[in-house]
C-alpha cells in the first residue's frame, strides 16, 4: 500500500514527518494548501513507478507490528469491564469464531 498524505489537523504533522523520514509516505504539506493539480502530479508519479510503490509499501509495513487491532480491541474490552454500560464488544462463546 503506497501512502500519499497531506496534513489535515494540527496533531498530524509530527506523525507525517516521521513517516516521511522513514520513507513510508509522500508528504504534501497541509491539505488546505495542496492544489488538485499538485495532488494529481504526485498520485501520477506514484502510479507510474512500481519501485516507488514497493518502497513506500515496505517502509510503511516496517512501521507497524500488525497487532494494532488486537490492542484496540483489548483496550475496548477493558473499558467495557470497568464500565456500568452495555459492553461494546462481546467475547465469542467457546466453539464460535
Residue 72 forms part of a structural domain: no
Q: Within a domain: residue 40?
A: yes
Cβ of 9: how many Cβ atoms within 10 Å?
8
Does some domain include residue 87? Answer: no
Number of structural domains, the chain? 1
Judge whether 39 lies within some domain: yes
**Coil, strand or helix at 29:** strand
Per-residue pLDDT of the chain (97 residues; tens, 9 = 90+): 556 666 666 677 788 888 888 988 888 888 888 889 998 999 999 999 999 999 999 998 888 888 888 888 887 788 767 665 555 555 555 555 5
Residue 16: is it exposed, middle or buried by C-beta count within 10 angstroms (0-12/13-18/19+)? buried
Query: Which range marks the domain in which residue 44 is found?
Result: 4-61
Is 55 a domain residue? yes
> For residue 47, is it within any domain?
yes
Q: Is residue 96 part of a domain?
A: no
Amino acid at each position: 500500500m503506497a501512502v500519499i498524505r497531506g496534513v489535515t489537523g494540527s496533531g498530524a504533522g509530527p506523525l507525517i514527518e516521521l513517516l516521511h523520514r522513514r520513507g513510508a509516505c509522500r508528504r504534501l504539506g497541509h491539505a488546505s494548501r495542496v492544489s488538485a493539480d499538485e495532488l494529481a502530479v504526485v498520485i501520477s508519479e506514484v502510479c507510474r513507478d512500481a519501485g516507488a510503490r514497493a518502497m513506500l509499501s515496505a517502509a510503511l509495513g516496517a512501521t507497524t507490528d500488525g497487532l494494532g487491532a488486537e490492542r484496540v480491541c483489548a483496550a475496548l474490552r477493558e473499558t467495557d469491564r470497568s464500565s456500568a454500560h452495555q459492553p461494546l464488544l462481546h467475547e465469542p462463546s467457546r466453539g464460535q469464531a
